Amino acid sequence: MKKGKKMKNSGQTVNSQLLRKPIRRCFPLFVMPTLICFCIGFIWPFLQGIYLSFCDFNTPKDAKWIGVGNYAKAFKDAGFIHAFWNTAGFAVVSIILINVVAFFIAYALTQKMAGANLFRTVFFMPNLIGGVVLGYIWSMIFDAILKGYGTYLTSNATYGFWGLVILVAWQQIGYMMIIYIAGFQSVPGDMIEAAKIDGATGWQTLTRVIIPNIMPSVTICTFLTLTNSFKMFDQNLALTGGAPSVMMNGAKLNMTELLALNIYSTYNINKSWHGAAQAKAVVFFLLVAVLAIAQLTATRSKEVQQ
Amino acid sequence: MKKKEKTTYSFPSKILTVFFILLCLIWIMPIFEVLINSFKENAAVNTNAFALPDKDSFVGFANYIKGMTFGNYPFAKALGFSFLITISSVVVILLFTSMTAWYIARVDSKFARMFYYLCLFSMIVPFQMVMFTLSFTADQLKLNTPYAIPIVYLGFGAGMAIFMFVGFIKGLPLEIEEAAAIDGCGPIRTYFRVVFPMLKPTLISVGILETMWVWNDYLLPYLVLDRTKYMTIPILVQYLKGSYGSVDLGATMAVIMLSIIPIIIVYIFCQKHIIKGVAAGAVKG
């Protein structure tokens, strides 16, 4: 591997000299603008965020180092733990629901069928609408349905949870469907033909030939649904905003809050919670990063090499 | 050729088509609901949201007229800021990240590689991690206006764009750029005359993904912008719903409808590009 790389490099010495040096001289034009913005918009806030999670602060200017106190406070907060389990449950349900439905819709639409393109267009459309707007559309609809039973959406955490699942499924199935369709179309036709000649049934062809070949799409879709459901914020805020809430040990516990919204509302309690909120954010980041990497390595290993 | 295909649809395939027609009708129900309710008076939305507007409840465009102005913030202003922010941010992102990606792919120095890995890293960092410090930094640097917010978007959104551009540029043949260099093109001319036009498919993909993100983004502009002066559509919708939504559902539905219409128009005209761009973007991710 290393040897091959070296050989490739030595073969390109002339070429790279020809391009590399002059491009390097243009560093201020080509890289500086992005680099400066990247530092302002990402690197600096990220590092400062880690630092502040160990501080007591109102604004970053009056930060006072206090050690891991914020983390202790965060983990003692029942709302945070509740939001974690809420998010985990929501992620499991929505990953399964979205991927299964999107998979079969994509499978059906890649068969010979009248109107497949029109259906694809319709299913994808909800993706283009922003999370806040989606939340309000669905809160109106759920309230209208529940009114028939003499109740309303934010009266019960179960309604809020499944309401969010339905909303997110409606929004994301179309997106994942597009990725699965691209996957189905990349399965070599002669492979399917060969399976047919060998006498494979439709089901066997699907499970033994098609699914192993579209594992890359499965990887991408489960990755996206996983990270999307963990990062879910706008829809959560607009649909229920965390309601209903109960009082627990003198603190307000928002029953339908997911992690991202919990962090946000912790900031807004008062300034004594800023540090704990930032500590929660760091924990949240670590959680998303670990999950994302674990998921990628787990499904990547199931992909077939061609 | 299409005609020939039509004659060969089998019976089960026809049943499937019928099933999908029904499914699609369910799929567009929510939007249809918003549409009919935007023409009904508030009381009718509250009592029976599923009924079609009738003689008593139909109010014509009154909700729309009300929706454009209520809440002390004109809808047109928010629409204007949304357009301004989205267009300028996406243009800035496309131009600068593609230039940086070319540098990373072609120079391939230690610094370039490190920058690239930092970009990958930034893609998995959730916004909540940086939201507080980012809004504070943006405030300090006076980036809290729609005219300066593209800088923040370029910073926070650079990761995905650079990742996709680098992937694409690495697949481009070096020979073309070398030929340009031999013919006496400097890097700047090589980039804008030779490389940039070749990037078109990725420019479309990245452009679409970034547009969908910036146009619909709520929390970043909400925290960064000076909210007393500047609102985008998602912020306005949230603001109206929060303070007036329970008062006038009909007008709120009209505002939601107004915010969806531009998206649907764009979608009808560019749906092929959008769907292709999303598929291409995802496959690379």
**pTM, 2 dp:** 0.89
Query: What is the 3-class SS of chain A, one letter each residue?
Result: CHHHHHHHHHHCHHHHHHHHHHHHHCHHHHCHHHHHHHHHHHHHHHHHHHHHCCEECCCHHHCEECCCHHHHHHHHCHHHHHHHHHHHHHHHHHHHHHHHHHHHHHHHHCCCCCCHHHHHHHHHHHHHCCHHHHHHHHHHHHHHHHHCCCCCHHHCHHHHHHHHHHHHHHHHHHHHHHHHHHHHHCCCHHHHHHHHHCCCCHHHHHHHHHHHHCHHHHHHHHHHHHHHHHHCCHHHHHHCCCCCEEEECCEEEECCCCHHHHHHHHHCCCHHHHHHHHHHHHHHHHHHHHHHHHHHHHHHCCCCCC
CA distance B107 to chain A (A): 5
* A7 domain residue, yes or no: no
Same-domain status, A36 and A108: no
User: B255 to chain A: which residues are within 8 Å by CB?
Assistant: none
Same-domain status, B121 and B48: no
* B256 domain residue, yes or no: no
Residue of B156, B217, B238 lying closest to A41 (CB–CB) = B156
Each residue's pLDDT tens digit, B242-259? 776 666 888 888 989 998
Of B54, B69, B84, the one marking the end of a domain is: B69
Same-domain status, B167 and B235: yes
- Res. B284: pLDDT tops 70: no
Residue of A46, A128, A293 lying closest to B125 (CB–CB) = A46
* B132 domain residue, yes or no: yes
User: A128 to chain B: which residues are within 8 Å by CB?
Assistant: 212, 216, 263-264, 266-267, 274
Same-domain status, B63 and B80: no
Least confident stretch, A236-245, B57-66, B159-168:
B57-66
Same-domain status, B16 and B124: no
Residues B100, A182: C-beta atoms closer than 8 Å: no
Same-domain status, B143 and B18: no
* B140 domain residue, yes or no: yes
Same-domain status, B6 and B134: no
Same-domain status, A42 and A174: no
User: A32 to chain B: which residues are within 8 Å by CB?
Assistant: none
User: A114 to chain B: which residues are within 8 Å by CB?
Assistant: 6, 9, 13-14, 17
Least confident stretch, A57-71, B52-66, B80-94:
B52-66
* A64 domain residue, yes or no: no
Interface contact B106, partner A, CB < 8 A: yes
Single out the residue of A226, A133, A234, A252 nearest to residue B128, CA to CA: A234
Confidence of residue B141 (pLDDT cuts 50, 70, 90): very high
Residue of A42, A52, A278 lying closest to B156 (CB–CB) = A42
pLDDT higher for B91 or A78?
B91
Residues 6+ apart with CB under 8 A from A140: B33, B34, B37, B45, B49, B249, B253
Of B69, B96, B128, the one marking the end of a domain is: B69
Same-domain status, A110 and A30: no
Residue A51 CA to residue A65 CA, distance in Å, equals 9
Burial of A147 (0-12, 13-18, 19+ CB in 10 A): middle
* ipTM surpasses cut 0.85: yes
- Res. B29: pLDDT tops 60: yes
Residues B17, A182: C-beta atoms closer than 8 Å: no
Same-domain status, B119 and B232: yes
CA distance A82 to chain B (A): 18
Same-domain status, B28 and B79: no
Pick the residue of B7, B114, B133 with the most A CBs within 10 A to test the interface with A by mutation: B133
Give me the number of domains chain B comprises: 2
Confidence of residue B7 (pLDDT cuts 50, 70, 90): low
Same-domain status, B122 and B85: yes
CA distance A241 to chain B (A): 10
Quote the pLDDT of residue A4: 40
Quote the pLDDT of residue B13: 80
- Res. B31: pLDDT tops 90: yes
Query: What is the 3-class SS of B50-102, one letter each residue?
Result: CCCCCCCCECCCHHHHHHHHCCCCCHHHHHHHHHHHHHHHHHHHHHHHHHHHH
Same-domain status, A131 and A167: yes
Range of the domain at A96: 73-300
CATH of the domain at A230: 1.10.3720.10
Same-domain status, A257 and A144: yes
Range of the domain at B114: 75-243
Each residue's pLDDT tens digit, A174-209? 999 999 999 998 888 888 889 888 888 888 888 888
Same-domain status, A48 and A95: no
Give pLDDT < 70 ranges for chain A. Answer: 1-16, 250, 303-306
Same-domain status, A27 and A77: no
- Res. B283: pLDDT tops 80: no
* A234 domain residue, yes or no: yes
Same-domain status, A154 and A34: no
Same-domain status, A232 and A102: yes
Interface contact B9, partner A, CB < 8 A: yes
Residue of B9, B96, B283 lying closest to A33 (CB–CB) = B96
Same-domain status, A122 and A24: no
User: A19 to chain B: which residues are within 8 Å by CB?
Assistant: 106, 174, 177-178, 181, 187
* B249 domain residue, yes or no: no
Give me the number of domains chain A comprises: 2
Residue of B13, B137, B241 lying closest to A44 (CB–CB) = B137
Same-domain status, B104 and B65: no
Same-domain status, B86 and B184: yes
CATH of the domain at B196: 1.10.3720.10
* A2 domain residue, yes or no: no
Quote the pLDDT of residue A6: 41
Same-domain status, B16 and B96: no
pLDDT averaged over every residue in chain B: 87
